[in-house]
Chain A
């Protein structure tokens, strides 16, 4: 596997940790950066245990943002707040975007505001933002053999996490998977 690094924000971690097949993330990423500010938002046993286990295994890497990175995140929050049509973002997801931009990597987020930043601000256009839907797509096309398996995996995720994918986006991802995998 190539060295693909992800930067995970809180809302992604909360949902993904509830997924019984959560370790499939290791099939796609060589490591995941966890900001200290994201870790601070994790509270329940299941989420903390999963984070701690992966920190111990070295798959998760705890990252302490530098002062200039925190300042850049705060500036990004203000820039977003000034726009009338975007969803607000907070420090954890802003930091994820700042760091992902710096190291040219993937942000794993379910935050609509964070997803919008990439579309709205050109300097963040190099950041690749994946929701759990895109991660599942990647797992499916690279690690599974049959479309039926992929479909079941995505349905399982939705059921276990109570996270529903928008119909249009889901259909689009299913089409991609269908074009790659056997029936």
Chain B
């Protein structure tokens, strides 16, 4: 489901943050890893086709 081409194309911090989120599901930590605001990270997840499962 996730767009791995999109994920792998991202700069390192964002790429690792997306992978972290996929693995752990903690959006707060993931957006800090990415250096992004929560809302921006949420939209990034949509672009990366990573579902939020809660």
Q: Which chain A residues have a beta carbon within 8 Å of chain B's beta carbons?
A: 10-11, 14-15, 41-44, 47, 87-90, 110-113, 131, 133, 161-166
Indicate with 1 or 0, residue by residue over B33-48, a CB within 8 angstroms of chain A CB atoms. 0000111101101100
Chain A residues, Cβ within 8 Å of B29:
88
Chain B, interface SS category: helix
Q: Determine whether the beta carbon of B53 is less than 8 Å from that of A164.
A: yes
Q: A87-B26, A112-B25 are in contact. Are A41 and B52 (CB under 8 A)?
A: no
Q: Which residues of A contact B26 (CB under 8 A)?
A: 87-88, 112-113
Assess whether B22 is interfacial by the CB under 8 Å rule.
no
Identify which of A10, A11, A165 contacts B53 (C-beta below 8 A).
A165
Q: How far is the CB of B23 from chain A (nearest CB, A)?
A: 13
Cβ of B12 under 8 Å from chain A: no
